[in-house]
């Protein structure tokens, strides 16, 4: 009898790219013959090419089942990572895509090397050149793998740091405040309510309002609600006002009145880029004033310029050195800009200070 079920347990990754394509074509033919196929793989491209449904597992337990035509690679990555924060999900998607693209490129180069070895006597000079190219590509792939591993470690570390910070803030401030007000209310209840308790009750009311305000600020830090409702034109002034209040620095903000709305992913990424840039200024620049401008250019791209009058940076700025020294602020900004297909320019001003200029291309090709 013909087989009714075929199980493929993560073997695609061990095949060269050409054989992967041949196997996928064969599986498509089996699928058209009403054969059931179960594929275990982390290659989203393969899964979305052939599957009808995707099952996400964690430690052997089912997390979710999705119909392939009704989901996206981003949603699947969100389920794998365990969060829907785009600042954390986007680097993982970038890692998946670049790793498999690099794997394909390496396989193609290995095939080229094999052919050249067969004609070594006739094309010895060309073979040596291509072999050197292959070695450079393999070195680049090794560096990419190391960078991906480092990005993954930073992603996990930052996520745990955020959770730890949130837990500490809730425990040390909000929960302790609520417990204190609970004890005060119990004490008043024990003594019995009277007109003399009115001042104490008012203090408790004010304290509870402060707790609510703290929780609102915490929620805003996790996901600024103004950004979803009104876009960058409203969210950035709110961010700048809060930052200036905390840092005590003078601030000049200039937002193009024609800025308009952008897709959610771009708006959130730009917001996080500006947030990280301001954090760098407060921590390292030793500045007294800061200037931020957001402009739409004639080609509809978004131009963001952040300038401070601080001590400046050593030119040219070397992101690899900054990463080795565990200064990830500009590195994170560079990664976010790269994921948006944009350009980043960091310069030190002659009289001191730093200028960060970022250009994000328009997502609308007709503009």
What is d(CA 344, CA 325) in angstroms, rounded to the nearest whole number? 20
| Three-class DSSP labels, 9-54 | ECCHHHCCHHHHHHHHHHHHHHHHCCCEEEEECCCHHHHHHHCCEE
E strands, 256-318, in order: 289-296, 302-308
| pLDDT, position 48 | 84
Residue the block writes with tokens 């009145």 = 257
Residue with tokens 């955020």: 162
pLDDT score recorded for residue 5: 87
Round to whole Å and give the CA distance between 261 and 275: 19
Q: Quick one: tokens of 50?
A: 């052939």
Quick check: helix, strand or coil at residue 307? strand
Ramachandran sector of residue 60 (left: φ over 0; alpha: ψ -120 to 50; beta: rest)? left
CA 307 vs CA 78, 102, 242, 277, 293: distances in Å: 35, 37, 18, 10, 9
Using alpha carbons, list the distances in angstroms from residue 151 to 147, 164, 257, 337: 6, 20, 37, 15
**Which has the closest alpha carbon to 330: 320, 341, 342, 315?**
320
Tokens standing for residue 32:
């058209």
Strands 343-348 and 354-360: antiparallel
Q: What is the DSSP letter of 317?
A: P
- Each residue of 240-280: pLDDT tens digit? 888 888 888 988 999 999 888 888 888 888 988 998 899 88
Q: What is the pLDDT of residue 73?
A: 80
| Cβ(51)–Cβ(39) below 8 Å | yes
From residue 355, give the alpha-carbon distance in Å to each of 322, 345, 348, 361: 17, 8, 6, 20
- In this prediction, the residues of the chain whose per-residue pLDDT falls under 50 are 1, 366-367
Enter the DSSP assignment of 314: P
């Amino acid at each position: 009898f013909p087989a009714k079920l075929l199980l493929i347990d993560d073997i695609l990754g061990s095949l060269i790219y050409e054989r992967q394509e041949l196997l996928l074509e064969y599986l498509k033919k089996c699928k058209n013959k009403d054969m059931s196929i179960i594929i275990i793989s982390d290659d989203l491209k393969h899964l979305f090419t052939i599957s009808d449904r995707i099952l996400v597992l964690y430690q052997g337990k089912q997390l979710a089942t999705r119909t392939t035509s009704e989901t996206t690679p981003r949603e699947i990555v969100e389920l794998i990572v365990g969060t829907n924060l785009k600042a954390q999900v986007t680097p993982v998607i970038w890692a998946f895509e670049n790793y498999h693209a690099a794997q394909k490129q390496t396989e193609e180069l290995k095939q080229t090397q094999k052919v050249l070895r067969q004609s070594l006597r006739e094309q010895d000079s060309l073979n040596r050149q291509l072999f050197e190219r292959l070695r450079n590509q393999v070195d680049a792939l090794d560096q990419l793998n190391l960078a991906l591993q480092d990005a993954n470690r930073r992603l996990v570390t930052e996520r745990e740091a955020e959770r730890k910070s949130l837990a500490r803030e809730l425990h040390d401030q909000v929960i302790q405040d609520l417990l204190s007000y609970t004890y005060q209310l119990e004490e008043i209840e024990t003594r019995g309510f009277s007109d003399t308790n009115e001042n104490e009750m008012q203090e408790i009311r004010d304290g509870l309002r402060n707790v609510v305000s703290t929780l609102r600020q915490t929620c805003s830090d996790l996901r600024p609600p103004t950004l979803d409702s009104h876009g960058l034109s409203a969210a950035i002034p709110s961010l700048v006002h809060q930052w200036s209040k905390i840092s005590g620095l003078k601030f000049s903000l200039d937002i193009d009145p024609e800025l308009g709305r952008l897709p959610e992913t771009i708006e959130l990424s730009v917001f996080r880029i500006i947030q990280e840039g301001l954090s760098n200024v407060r921590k390292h620049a030793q500045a007294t004033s800061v200037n931020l401008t957001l402009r739409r250019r004639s080609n509809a791209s978004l131009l963001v310029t952040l300038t401070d009058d601080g001590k400046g940076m050593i030119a040219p700025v070397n992101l690899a050195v900054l990463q080795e020294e565990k200064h990830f602020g500009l590195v994170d900004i560079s990664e976010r800009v790269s994921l948006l297909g944009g350009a980043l320019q960091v310069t030190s001003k002659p009289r001191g200070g730093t200028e960060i200029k970022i250009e994000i291309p328009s997502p609308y090709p007709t503009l």
